[in-house]
Amino acid sequence: MLFRQFFERESSTYTYLVASRQGGEALLIDPVKEEVARYLQLIHELKLKLVFAIDTHVHADHVTGLGDLRNETQCVTMIGSGSKAECVSRKVDDGEALRIDGLELRAMYTPGHTDDSCSFVMSDRVFTGDTLLIRGTGRTDFQNGDARAQYKSLFSRLLKLPDETLVYPAHDYKGWTVSTIGEERAHNPRLKVSNEDEYVAMMNSLNLPNPKLMDIAVAANLACGVR
Ligand code: FE
């Protein structure tokens, strides 16, 4: 498999390029608008055909590259079916399989960080968006975030994946690049709660400042980052 992890410094966002081989079909997860030229360069150099560009949720901290990528490559843009981003070509339902040649991803609806958050599961890895971060979890205090829903997404869905499943989140602020479900269950401080109420109380006491770009980014992302 061909797998690349891009890092965007301003918002500490990870973007993933996945394909089964050079010259084959590819997909991008959580592309950032300012980085689109770089993705297209690599796609061109590896002779890939971009089939899907996917956002795990409507982001509040950066503008999505979905619209620009669709304009440049005619790829299909996608987000979870709970999303208000009506600009996408297609919305994916919980459990739906996305196929490109030689590869399959399954959408897993994991709300909580936002009401439209989806994870995408492959045989050996999961793209968790901002639902599960490395040694953290995504904030739940805006965009219809819901700590109770996130608790269920974490404990009833993501943590049910096999322990060895690789975890690739949408962000990291400390330099982690990858983890596993087993490692997060054992060492993620946010998962050390004994019940849902305890998790909700912890998330409700975080008092985080809003992201710098929030007002601009959410509005732009509901239009896929293009006017
Ligand atoms: Fe987010």
What is the whole-number distance in angstroms between the Cα of residue 114 and the centre of ligand 1? Answer: 7
CB 17 within 8 A of CB 45: no
In a domain, 227, yes or no: no
Residue 148 lies in a domain: yes
Query: Does any domain span residue 171?
Result: yes
- The residues pairing with 105 across neighbouring beta strands, listed in sequence order, are 98
pLDDT on residue 1: 95
Has residue 227 got a pLDDT over 90?
Answer: no
User: Ligand 1 centroid vs 192 CA: distance in angstroms?
Assistant: 22
**Number of domains within the chain:** 1
Question: Is residue 61 domain-resident?
Answer: yes
Q: What is the token pair recorded at 66?
A: 């979905």
| Mean of per-residue pLDDT scores for the chain | 97
In whole angstroms, how far apart are CA 109 and each of 10, 78, 114, 180, 198? 27, 14, 11, 19, 23
Read off the pLDDT of each residue in 77-81 and give the average, rounded to a whole number.
97
- Full-prediction pTM beyond 0.95? yes
Task: Please give the pLDDT value at position 152.
Answer: 98
CA of 157 to the centre of ligand 1 (A): 19
Task: State what percent of residues in the chain have pLDDT above 70.
Answer: 100
Q: Tell me, in angstroms, the distance from the centre of ligand 1 to residue 21's CA.
A: 30
Rounded distance from Cα 23 to ligand 1 centre (Å): 32
User: Is residue 186 domain-resident?
Assistant: yes
8 CA from centroid of ligand 1 (Å): 14
Q: What is the DSSP string of 84-126?
A: --TTSSEEE-TT-EEEETTEEEEEEE--SSSTT-EEEE-SSEE
* Number of C-beta neighbours around residue 103 at 10 A: 19
**Residue 55 pLDDT:** 98
Q: How far is the CA of 130 from the centre of ligand 1 (A)?
A: 5
Residue 14 lies in a domain: yes
- Ligand 1: distance of its center to the CA of 142 in Å? 10
Whole-angstrom distance, CA of residue 170 vs CA of residue 166? 13
> How far, in Å, from the CA of 47 to the mean position of ligand 1?
31
For the chain, what percent of residues have pLDDT higher than 90? Answer: 96
pLDDT tens, position by position, 141-178? 988 999 999 999 999 999 999 999 999 999 999 999 99
CATH of the domain at 60: 3.60.15.10
pLDDT tens figures, 33-60: 999 999 999 999 999 999 999 999 999 9
Any domain includes 67? yes
In this prediction, residue 184 carries a pLDDT of 98
> Please, which residues bridge with residue 169 across strands?
129
For 89, the token pair is 């070509």
pLDDT of residue 140: 97
Q: How far is the CA of 59 from the centre of ligand 1 (A)?
A: 5
* CA 122–ligand 1 middle distance (angstroms): 21
> Which structural domain range is residue 168 located in?
2-222
SS3 182: helix
Give 37 Cα–ligand 1 centroid separation in angstroms: 22
> What is the pLDDT averaged over residues 110-136?
98
